[in-house]
Amino acid sequence: MSVMAVKEVLSAKGKPQFFVENYLYEVEKTVGGRTSYCRCIKQRRDGCPARITILRWPEPMVQRQTGEHTHAPDTGEFIRRQASAQMKDAVLEKQDKGVKRVHSEVLAEESRTDIVVEGLYGKTLSDEDFLLFDDGLEDKILAFGTDEMFSILCESPTVFMDGTFKVVPHLFLQLYTIHSFHKGQMFPLVFFLLPDKTKETYRRMFSLLKNHADAKGMVFAPRTFQLDYEVATLRAIQLEFPLSEIKGCNFHFSQSLWRKVQHLGLVSHYNDPSVKKLIRSCFALSLVPLDRIDDAWLGIDAESPAADHPAYERVGVFKEYVINTWLENGSVFPRSLWNHYRNFGARTTNHVEAWHSALSRTIRKEHVNLFQLINFLKKQEDKGRADRLLLQAGQAPPRLSSKYKSLNDRLIRLTDEFESGAKSYNQVAGRDFQGLYAPVARFETIRTLLAVSAQEALTLCQFDVAAAFLHSDLREEIYTPQPEGFDDGSGRACELLKACYGLKQAPKEFNSKIKKCFRELGLNQSTSDPCMFLYEGPKRLVVVLYVDDGITGA
């Protein structure tokens, strides 16, 4: 029999018990002061037949083992009983200290250097490795996740990040998690326990991720990071991933504006139409094309409350805040950070914050013991693994709420109308504009596609959509006389349900139709050219559109 580690602990009544391979045994009898015959602690209650014989001198060791356990091992039982015994001794020795203080002192590690994650705490519930890395001493960083989760992380083009402080053990400042979409559903992929929230610590965190990926033969270099506006994290990403795009949470952008509104006392004037329009227009700045933000701001400023308005001075301070914090070229938060034009996916980190809130509700207390938190994280990993298996088996991901889907569809429609070239910021829909034109690919885009295709040996193909304009759906009500040969003499007209050649809306409607089809096929519209579509899968696919003609590179 192989040598098994034996740990001794006293029961509540001061009797010896032994912890072997995550099972606890109580002593039935001891012979000669050297040999103890023990049974499983759950024998009396559950009838577990497992027994061991312990040779207690010179060091406790298992001499004999019989029977099989009828229950799962309990990694926390030894720690609980050991802590209970320590608390009992501490209360007797230090009677001037309260029970709560003794409880905190016993459970808390003296420093981060003392923390050792081993045994089943470094394994998932399915016995996979769970501790990704344990780095540093007093500035220790712990990271948890599985090989499967890490592989998904490295394959993700966009990652979402945020931290939470409420449930974290006292020796750490925050639990920082990285999430991503997988098959249409958001999953937490790495859990970090960080000692602080400095730029240097975030750089270490990212460096550890990159090194771990390199050791696994993978690359961690997301195309886009999406997070809140914590400056230390932003600076760390810029230094560690200079080629990656950083996007700030759109909810936090609006929240920052609203907090300034509250701070200035403008809430009391919010029902005033001019004040409300100013504030809501500022919220919408993040959805305006980057090169049109200045035009949009000039329009907002021109229509803001005049000098005789009772809130004029407060509005002026608010506008200065918007300019200095969000619009100036030298501001901490550049426009590219908070701009979400043409982002029809997740524009916030609300998924991550919702996960943190759910974790807090599950734990139900603040600053839990480290090993308790690890057990909660293991349960989250187990749930995520089960959900991924369901997706792999064909289960559909959670559906978007009807409210969000409706808002997103409206945003897509308004963006398409704007890109048709027929709408400006000061025109009124239905009164003095109609969308007429289909955008075409820039020559720079076509030349770039040719160059990339030559460099990456992509196969180029050309296509022409037959009877293209006849496929377009119409949004306006358009009528035509009954066709010759089908006139029933009633004098009634026919309503067109589809566009036709010669109809002025046809090019624009065809463009909207084909872009919708591309999105349904998984192609993402480029932010640099609205007529270029990209498929970011195992193999590259690029589509460049010129009205109803196109070029593909694959």
Taking only the tens of pLDDT, the chain with its 554 residues reads 456 778 888 887 778 889 888 889 999 999 888 899 999 999 988 899 999 999 988 788 898 999 999 988 876 666 666 666 666 655 555 555 555 555 555 555 456 777 888 888 899 999 999 999 999 988 999 999 999 999 999 999 999 999 999 999 888 999 999 999 999 999 999 999 999 999 999 999 999 999 999 999 999 999 999 999 999 999 999 999 999 999 999 999 999 999 999 999 999 999 999 999 999 999 999 999 998 899 899 999 989 999 999 999 999 999 999 999 999 988 889 999 999 998 999 999 999 999 999 999 999 888 888 988 999 999 999 999 999 999 999 999 998 888 888 998 889 888 876 765 434 444 444 433 456 677 888 888 899 889 988 988 889 999 988 888 888 887 777 777 777 777 777 777 787 788 777 677 778 888 888 888 888 888 888 888 889 998 877 788 899 998 888 999 88
Q: Are residues 462 and 506 in the same domain?
A: yes
Q: Are residues 325 and 365 in the same domain?
A: no
Q: List C-alpha distances in Å: 210 to 227, 297, 339, 352, 540.
A: 19, 40, 28, 22, 24
Beta carbons within 8 Å of 225's beta carbon, 6+ residues apart: 158, 159, 161, 237, 241, 244, 245, 246, 247
Q: Is residue 172 part of a domain?
A: yes
Distance CA 123, CA 127 (A): 5
Residue 138 is predicted with a pLDDT of 86
Q: Are residues 366 and 329 in the same domain?
A: no
Q: Is residue 465 part of a domain?
A: yes
Q: List C-alpha distances in Å: 359 to 150, 197, 366, 371.
A: 21, 21, 11, 15
Q: Is residue 515 part of a domain?
A: yes
Q: Are residues 262 and 359 in the same domain?
A: no
Q: Is residue 396 part of a domain?
A: no
Q: Are residues 217 and 126 in the same domain?
A: yes
**Helix crossing, 312-322 with 250-263: angle to 10°?**
150
Q: Are residues 171 and 214 in the same domain?
A: yes
Answer for the pair 508, 437: CB distance below 8 angstroms, yes or no: yes
Residue 179 sits at φ, ψ, to 5 deg, of: -125, 160
Q: Which domain holds residue 182?
A: 119-249+348-389
The residue behind tokens 């993978």 is: 218
CATH number of the domain encompassing residue 139: 3.30.420.10
Q: Are residues 270 and 370 in the same domain?
A: no
Distance CA 201, CA 199 (A): 6
Number of structural domains, the chain? 4
Q: List C-alpha distances in Å: 2 to 62, 73, 297.
A: 9, 19, 75
Residue 110 is predicted with a pLDDT of 53
Q: Are residues 227 and 370 in the same domain?
A: yes
Q: Are residues 243 and 264 in the same domain?
A: no
Q: Are residues 221 and 160 in the same domain?
A: yes
Q: Are residues 330 and 354 in the same domain?
A: no
pTM of the entire structure? Answer: 0.64
